[in-house]
Amino acid sequence: ASTAATSVSVSGDIASQLHGGYSHPLARAWQAERQLTKSMLIYPIFITDNPDESELIPSLPGQRRMGLNKVVAFLQPLVRKGLKSVILFGVPLAPSAKDTLGTAADDPQGPVMAGIRLVRKNFPQLFVVADVCLCEYTSHGHCGILHEDGSLNNTLSVDRVSDVAMAYAEAGAHCVAPSDMNDGRIRAIKLKLIESGIAHRVVLMSYAAKFSGCLYGPFRDAAGSVPSFGDRKCYQLPPGGRGLARRAIERDIAEGADIIMVKPATQYLDIISDAKEIGKNMPIAAYHVSGEYAMIHAAAKAGVFDLKTMAFEATEGILRAGASIVVSYFTPDFLEWLDT
Ligand code: PBG
Ligand code: ZN
């Protein structure tokens, strides 16, 4: 009888028994290579040139556009809850703030430059990322400087974008993140950082694989950066372009990027995974963009699913694909949810 009892467990049946391995909530959490923590999150902040403004952005539920006088009080409770990092976007509203060269981008009194100084001074522990682009500041709304015929002048754009990145770094940004997608900007920024002797204290995060599409709509509403003509297809990547993304990632690593970002996130999980494989020795970031965030809110509101469950599922998918940094509008929610 005893031999019969032991022989019950035989032949292939052992390997088919998986349930036990994730039978407890903690054992389920252990299945993930990377578990979501507060230090993985970067929160986007939109700063306007109207100092007392604090306006909800209709297309980005719960997110605000605010003036410099509102930033500290806004961040205080979040920092108390464990916010570790913000990425700053400037939103100039004054009509005079836009021209063909995006001159206002590095105005020393402008919202981003002043915002960097303000946040550094008031929150010494907070890691400050500055998004670097011209589209919020150009009269035509494109991410670079244009030729007469409206096409992108890559040489002038790279010159200008790298100057702006330098200005943000010198104002105190811990990290500069060029999102313009002009060719060669990572190299240009890295060289300028080296030449001016601050390369050792600035993280260079490249939006290396940034795809064109319709998921940036709410952001462009928020930032007032809809192009006045044409689209961004000549510099942002085509959605099917996996090989092109791999080349852009390889190039930006070779040009000196410290972190590679993929954007959007949930539609491009294969690209995140490629980035992790190509950049296996560096952190990979993903931007869970405005359209993804708005979509989850809209679907939750329509009763399709529970907001919190979906926010976790989407973000855990992004981590599983290979990211260890997530730029997310859900950051304030996660600071709450991760405590419970
Ligand atoms: C600016 C920039 C954009 C985003 C980040 N930086 C918009 C764009 O390229 O049109 C998108 C962020 C989001 O949608 O949340 N170059
Ligand atoms: Zn841009």
Which ipTM score applies to this complex? 0.97
> Looking at residue 226, what DSSP letter applies?
-
pLDDT surpasses 80 at 3: no
Active site residue 98: no
Q: Are 264 and 288 in contact (CB under 8 A)?
A: yes
Q: Which amino acid is at 295?
A: M
Percent of the chain surpassing pLDDT 70? 96
Which of 135, 219, 267, 287 to probe ligand 1 with, by most ligand atoms within 8 A of CB? 219
CA–centroid distance, residue 154 to ligand 1 (Å): 19
pLDDT surpasses 70 at 286: yes
pLDDT band at 9 (very low <50, low <70, confident <90, very high): low
pLDDT band at 340 (very low <50, low <70, confident <90, very high): confident
Look at residue 289 and give its three-state secondary structure: coil
298-337 per-position pLDDT tens digit: 999 999 999 999 999 999 999 999 999 999 999 999 999 9
Secondary structure (DSSP) of 104-147: GGG-TTSHHHHHHHHHHHH-TTSEEEEEE-STTTBTT--SS-B-
CA–centroid distance, residue 141 to ligand 2 (Å): 8
Active site residue 192: no
pLDDT surpasses 90 at 99: yes
- The closest ligand to the CA of 144 turns out to be 2
Q: Are 91 and 48 in contact (CB under 8 A)?
A: yes
Q: Are 204 and 259 in contact (CB under 8 A)?
A: yes
